[in-house]
Structure 1
Amino acid sequence: MEDIQMEEDARVFEFAEFCTIRDEHWVQFKEILQRIQEGTLEEIIDHFHELFYLAQKLIWYRNHKQRKLKGFLELKDFIINETGQEESFVEVMHFIAARALDVKDMFPEDKVRILSKNQQACENYTSVQISCAIAHGFFCLIPGQDKFLDLPFPMNFNMWHEDKSKLGLEKLKFYYNYFNSQCSMPEDERYISFERKFISELDYDNLENDVWSNSDTTLTSVFFDEKGRIEEDEGSLMVDFANKFIGGGCMNHGCVQEEILFLIYPELLMALILCPKMEKNEAIMIKGPKRYSNYTGYGFSTEYTGPFDDKQPLDSDSRIERVFTAIDAIYFGSTQHEYAQFGKKSILRELNKALIGFTKFSGEEDDDKMVLSTGNWGCGAFNGNCELKFLIQWIAASFHGRNMKYFTFGDEKCEFLGQIVKACKGKSIKEIYELLLGHSAYLKAHSKTKSWKPKKDLISKFITKIYYRRAF
């Protein structure tokens, strides 16, 4: 099988009511937004609280007791006291309110067409439309959706506005910088494309025979980077270690690889409105998001460190030359499930997911020549084995003819990956797949011995034995 065709069958379009604000309610919201747009600092604070609690009542049907929005007030204090930019804060708040007021022009039908499950589709939005959507999220005006749509958590900032926490304040700083950048340096309108990749259940079930068991394709080249970051490898296909609900914990206190991407590339947030949960035979690709911020740290230590000057060129469709592919891994968090990942069923699921995600963006003739930039996919809280996930991604990238740049982040669990590359150089996809199945059988046989405990570097040792015929 020379290529995997992504499905483009007859589609049934579904819509998310992006701005489910009945006319009589929108009149009230509009009046308050207009007062924020024209208000002094004190008036902005008062009207913001008024708007927030009206939205809670009319959109979220919650009757919270009104209290100070500690997170929002901390952001205000930081901008004014730490930077001395009271006038700038007022201007940015005026700008966000103005953007939110543009909603009827940006989204005249008050809804957006979502990228439904099991359908190949692509949606394009302008940078101004997405800014308008995020402005609504800032003011917590985005409604919940029907459960059958299976969409991620709504893109509202209410948790950070209400909660006084260090990470919440840092997240607000990232998005404040996003709006501040647009306010201070207006830019030409760009486009951002969101695409759902999918293959049919029939093709999915045949991938083992069509690809993994029979492909003579030779493994591509691998390059390692111990200190860099995936998002810094411009010109490559960059992997988002995604949750099945894209964005993961980006709207709460999550702040690992995917959530950090959503902080420094705010336009990715539009995916929360467009993209239902990914199934096993799906991936999501996004082309054109602009980077606005720098950061340091990871997890709860993540901090905003200033604006980023994004100089990536635009393509012929006015999109920034930058592509992310979002693929979700299986969760192997509990001890009893940790070694299930070495079973054939789990290996096939992850191989197939990577194969779907590593394809080219629709309409991009040279996209399959891009290097794949990735790392320890699903190896953090999801407890994936680094050596196994490395091999899975390598052979999936090889099927598409992509060389792979692998970011180890200095993780000691990756110390034997170079040894694996040397042992597997010149091997074919089917040879490595057979090796993984052989390793799976080896584990299954030895797991019956109660005293036997597998080691983290078991795959590299197994490969050494098979290819170098050394004692195991």
Structure 2
Amino acid sequence: MEEKREDLASILPYLPLIRRSSSSLLFWPPKAQSSLKALSLGPDISRVDSGDLLADAIADLRHSSGLSSDHGRSFSSRAADGYALFFNELMSRADSRMWFGDVIPTLARLVLRLPSLLVEHYRNADNDINGRGITGFRLLNQQEPGIVFLGQELIAALLSCAFFCLFPTSNRGKKHLPTINFDQLFASLHPKGNNSQQEQKVKCLIHYFERICQCMPTGVVSFERKVLPFEQRSNYISYPEVDFWRTSAISLCPFEAFPSGLIEDQNYEALEVDFANEYLGGGALHRGCVQEEIRFMINPELIIGMLFMPSMRKNEAIEIVGVERFSHYMGYGSSFRFMGDYLDKKQLDSFGRRKTRIIAIDALYSPRRRQYEVEGLIREVNKAYCGFFYRSKYQCCQKNFQETSSSGTHFRHNGSEAFSETDRNIAIKDGSSSRHGNGDISLPFIEDYHTNYEICHENIGIATGNWGCGAFGGDPEIKSIIQWLAASQALRPFIHYYTFGEASMQRMEEVTRWILLHGWTVGDLWSMLVEYSSQRLNGNSNLWFFSWLLPEQAARSSDVHYMSE
């Protein structure tokens, strides 16, 4: 129980609740509880039946929760105007009556239940139900790998708190935590008519609240901070250096490009890449409306990660599994539009999570020349590798290798007996090496990726696209190759790449097919990428990578293996 109290202690300063003495029982401040009870009884009692009165009620709730003087951060007049504008003018009268008559009271009752939902959550974590290693809701600090499982009902209660702007804002900056209350999102609705995409974002969230009030979902969502430690640790893959990539003998995984379609609509078992800001969610609750922000609107449960996930360092990624999708949409940026209800039919895994796996990785912002420097290449490929790396995959390979080793059979990678020193080090760190009389170390890599994943009971690839490009200004050809390298090194069985119609990516299928035809390894492709980047920096080439590679492919193919040694 003591460990769970520590979990609660880490997150309690960022919740609007209070705890008496050293118990694990949680409570609303008495005045806040009275205000919430009034809201829960409907407009006949609360008198809240319009947007401007809702804004007054939110300001009163914040005051009664002790948040009105939250380091000078009060509920602003612009936020109040935004709530009034949306519910009085942008929402139809019929919908507005329904919201104030049904939805607002239901959300208030849900918020009132937050203390009991959290107590139940910690009790389940204490009991470690089904022996699954569940830990209590807590702050997942930088450089501390960890995972938290939250029920969808608890997430709904927390998001309702965000709608009512009830989370404390003081000290969030010191912990590198992003905004979580909805006040700034509503404030950005002004001036009226100039922020149509903001209105559409709010419509997605409003639809989510309507759905959970009609039928509360009962699944589970996990939030994990993944870390590649800078220092050497037992049983961990540490942050790779240049030689790790230069000498890797791992084969490149299958690569398929899709000129149309969207990552979130893919129907394969794949980890879907969130082109993230270092602060999870980016501008989701501000003015942003590109890939990450849109994903957070159609899967609003992602937003709760912003409550307790500090910003990512260069050796970190955030993986979220189980979020439900609630909205259809169209467009991007200023053309983004909410297009109605979406019924998520994804199956559940053994933890009760939907098989929607999202990995948030943040690329370099406006990298210019830096993206061609070795330091920049290492930063980006390691960021992707951190997100794509699947530790249990290596453990599974270890088990499989040990079983075959006992029968005198040894796996060879691409039919070769040679393994890089870095790959040997990986095996040693993971405890998966096997020393023989001659001192050689054989590694548990299997040639066929699909067979390997069948043995591991997993076949989860990567679904991605022009990560770090667009608003971030990255080179899409370089970024595609970097993600391919990372996915291959992470032993993912495939990478599906959505180009979103990007003209510069038209040659991708031709390039990847040629590379796979010649059997290049991760080390081979990395070496070619470094050579190209060096020429680009030195002014010896002004071509894009695909054009640079293909015209001279025949001459270079004979030198590739020499370069990677």
TM-score, normalised via structure 1 length: 0.86
The code of the aligned residue for 2:40 comes to Q
Say which of 436, 448, 472 aligns to 2:529.
436
Q: Which has the larger radius of gyration?
A: 2
Instruction: Please tell me whether the aligned partners of residues 43 and 100 of structure 2 are also in contact (alpha carbons under 8 angstroms).
Output: no
Other-structure match for 1:195: 224
1:375 alignment partner AA: G
Instruction: State the SS of the aligned residue for 2:14.
Output: coil
SS at match of 2:319: strand
**What residue is the counterpart of 2:476 in the other structure?**
386
Q: Does 1:101 align with 2:84?
A: no
Pick the aligned partner of 1:355 from 381, 385, 392: 385
After superposing the two structures, state which structure 1 stretch, 39-48 or 360-369, moved more.
360-369
Q: Name 1:408's counterpart in structure 2.
A: 499
Structure 1 residues 169 and 362: alpha-carbon distance in aligned structure 2, compared to 1, 3 A threshold:
farther
Provide the C-alpha distance between the structure 2 equivalents of 1:66 and 1:330, rounded to a whole number of angstroms. Answer: 35
Pick closer, same or farther for the CA change 1:64–1:294 going to 2, 3 Å.
Answer: closer
- Partners of 2:79 and 2:459 in 1: how far apart? 53
Taking the TM superposition and a 5 Å limit, the aligned residue runs for 1:49-448 are: 49-54=55-60, 55=62, 57-59=68-70, 61-62=72-73, 69-77=80-88, 81=92, 86-87=97-98, 89-108=100-119, 112-147=137-172, 150-162=175-187, 163-164=189-190, 165-187=195-217, 189-203=218-232, 204-209=238-243, 211-234=244-267, 235-332=269-366, 337-360=367-390, 366=456, 369-402=459-492, 403-425=494-516, 426-446=519-539
Unaligned 5+ segments in structure 2 are 1-5, 20-26, 123-135, 233-237, 397-455, 557-565
**Residue 43 (structure 1) aligns with:** 48
Displacement of 1:161:
3.1
Going from structure 1 to structure 2, the CA distance change for 1:145 and 1:358 (only over 3 Å counts) comes to farther
Q: Is the 8 A contact 1:361 1:367 kept in 2?
A: no
Q: Offset of 1:31 from its aligned partner? A: 1.9
Aligned 8 A contact 2:330 2:338 in 1: yes
Deviation (angstroms), 1:107: 3.0
Show the 5 A alignment for 1:443-462: 443-446=536-539, 454-455=542-543, 458-462=544-548
Distance 1:310 1:67 in 2: 35
Query: Is residue 369–residue 401 contact of structure 1 (8 Å, CA) maintained in 2?
Result: no
SS of the aligned residue for 1:313 comes to coil
Aligned to 1:15: 10
- Structure 1 pair 18–361 and aligned structure 2 pair: CA distance change class (3 A): farther
- What is the CA distance between 1:51 and its match in structure 2? 2.9
Does the 8 A contact of 2:320 with 2:359 survive in 1?
A: yes
Contact persistence 2:197–2:334 (CA under 8 A): yes
Judged with a 3 Å threshold, the aligned counterparts in structure 2 of structure 1 residues 182 and 469 are, in CA distance, closer, same or farther, namely same
**Number of matched residues?**
446
The CA deviation at 1:339 is 2.2
Distance 1:205 1:172, change over 3 A: closer
| Amino-acid identity (%) | 27
Unpaired runs of 5+ in structure 1?
1-11
Q: 1:429 to 1:66 in 2, by over 3 A?
A: closer
Q: Distance in 1 between matches of 2:206 and 2:357?
A: 24
Deviation at 1:208, TM superposition (A): 2.7
RMSD value, Cα? 2.8
Is the deviation greater in 256-265 or in 415-424?
A: 415-424
Aligned counterparts of 1:275 and 1:64: Cα–Cα separation in 2: 24
Aligned counterparts of 1:186 and 1:361: Cα–Cα separation in 2? 34
Deviation at residue 246 of structure 1 after TM alignment: 0.7
Shift in Å, 1:290:
0.5
Q: Deviations over 1:65-118 (max 9, x none)?
A: 768833323432468527656235521111111111112212359994111111
User: How far does the alpha carbon of each residue in 1:116-169 deviate from its partner, in whole angstroms, 9 at most, with x for none?
Assistant: 111221111110111111000000001125257533323111123334342332
